[in-house]
Amino acid sequence: MPTEKYCSGFVAVAGRPNTGKSTLINTLLNEKISIVTPKPQTTRHSIMGILTRPDHQIVFVDTPGLHQSGGRQINRVLNRSAGASVAGADLVLLLVEATGWRDGDDFALRRAQETAVPIVLVVNKIDRVKSRTQLLPFLDECAARADFLAMIPVSALTGENLERLLALVHEQLPAGPQLFPAAMTTDRGPEFRIAEVIREKLLMALREEVPYGLAVEVLQVEHRDDLMLVDVVIWVERDSHRGMVVGRGGEVLKQVGTAARVELEDILGQRLHLQTHVKVKENWRDSAVALRQLGYEESR
C-alpha cells in the first residue's frame, strides 16, 4: 500500500556468466523467474523480478553474463543488453564467486564502473567455501579492487544472508511510487517463460557445441477448455544438430518436452500440451536480422 515514504527502484544483477545471478533472483522472489543451468551464458535477455513489500518495491533485473565478445553478433547483443540494464539502474549488484576472483570478473567490474551507478559486491556461493576464515582475505582482496558501496557474502542457493542483502538494497532505494502491480512478479509473459524453460531443459540435456546454437520460439498459443496448446520451434544452427536434439527414436526431445511441461504447468498453473518442431537456421547467432526475429533486442 503506497504511502509518502514509499521507495522503489531498479536493481541490476550483473556479473560474468555463471556467478549465480538468475539463481539469486529466483531465490529472492521464491519463484522461477529466470532459467538456471550449470552452463555459462544461460541468460540471454534482461528479465525483471519484481519484489513488492508494504513500504517498498524492488525491481531486480537479471542480465546476461558480461563477457568478452569474441566476435559473434549475439555476444555483442548480450553485452549491450546487460550494459543497458546496468546503466538504467539505481543500484548494481555485481556478483562474483566466493571461491576466487577470475579474469572475467575484471571485465564485468569495468563494464559496471563505466556507469555512474553505485555497485554492491555480492560474494555468492559461500556454501562452497569450507571455512569462513577463508572468506575474510578474499573480501579484503575484493575491497582493494574497487570502491564498492558495500560487500556482502551470500549463498543464492541456500538463501544465506539474503535478508541482509534485501535490507541493504532497501536502504539504497530512492523515494518513489509503486511501479508495478503488487501481484506482478515479472515483466515476461507466458510465451517467453515457455520458450525459456524449454531452452533450459535442452541446455541440460545436450552436450557442448549444440546448446549455444539453440533458440526456442513459441509460434502459437491456443486455449482449448482448460488446456493450453503451444506450438514451439527449436532452432538449431546446423543440420547435424537436429538429430542430436531429437535423439534416437525421438527420445531426447520427448524427455525435454515432458520435463518442460511438468515444470511449466506448475509455473503457469495451467495444463499444457507442447508441440515441438526442430528446424535449421544457419548461423543465426551472427545474423542481426535473425537475432531480432528471435527476440534478441539490444535493449528494451
Ligand X SMILES: Nc1nc2c(ncn2[C@@H]2O[C@H](COP(=O)(O)OP(=O)(O)OP(=O)(O)O)[C@@H](O)[C@H]2O)c(=O)[nH]1
Q: Which residues bind ligand X (CB under 6 A)?
A: 17-23, 36-38, 40-43, 64-65, 124-125, 127-128, 155-157
Nearer to Mg ion, 35 or 246 (CB): 35
Nearer to Mg ion, 273 or 300 (CB): 300
Quick one: cell of 232? 514451439
Contacts of 7 (CB under 8 A, 6+ apart): 55, 56, 57, 170, 173, 174, 175, 176
Nearer to ligand X, 7 or 211 (CB): 211
Site residues (CB under 5 A) for Mg ion? 21-22, 42-43
288 in the Ramachandran plot: left (φ > 0), alpha (ψ -120 to 50) or beta? alpha
38 binds, among ligand X, Mg ion, none (CB under 5 to 8 A by kind): ligand X
125 binds, among ligand X, Mg ion, none (CB under 5 to 8 A by kind): ligand X
Quick one: cell of 166? 534485501
Nearer to Mg ion, 38 or 177 (CB): 38
156 binds, among ligand X, Mg ion, none (CB under 5 to 8 A by kind): ligand X
Closest residue to bound Mg ion by CB? 43
CB of 13 to ligand X, least distance (A): 8
193 binds, among ligand X, Mg ion, none (CB under 5 to 8 A by kind): none
Nearer to Mg ion, 60 or 235 (CB): 60
113 binds, among ligand X, Mg ion, none (CB under 5 to 8 A by kind): none
CB of 256 to ligand X, least distance (A): 18
- One-letter amino acid at 193 equals R
CB of 132 to ligand X, least distance (A): 15
CB of 4 to Mg ion, least distance (A): 36
Yes or no: say if 32 and 71 are a contact pair by the CB < 8 Å rule. no
Nearer to ligand X, 275 or 299 (CB): 299
CB of 231 to ligand X, least distance (A): 27
CB of 232 to ligand X, least distance (A): 21
211 binds, among Mg ion, ligand X, none (CB under 5 to 8 A by kind): none
Count the Cβ atoms, other than its own, within 10 Å of residue 189.
Answer: 10
CB of 22 to Mg ion, least distance (A): 3
Nearer to Mg ion, 82 or 218 (CB): 82
124 binds, among Mg ion, ligand X, none (CB under 5 to 8 A by kind): ligand X
The dihedrals phi and psi of 17, each to the nearest 5 degrees, come to -55, 145
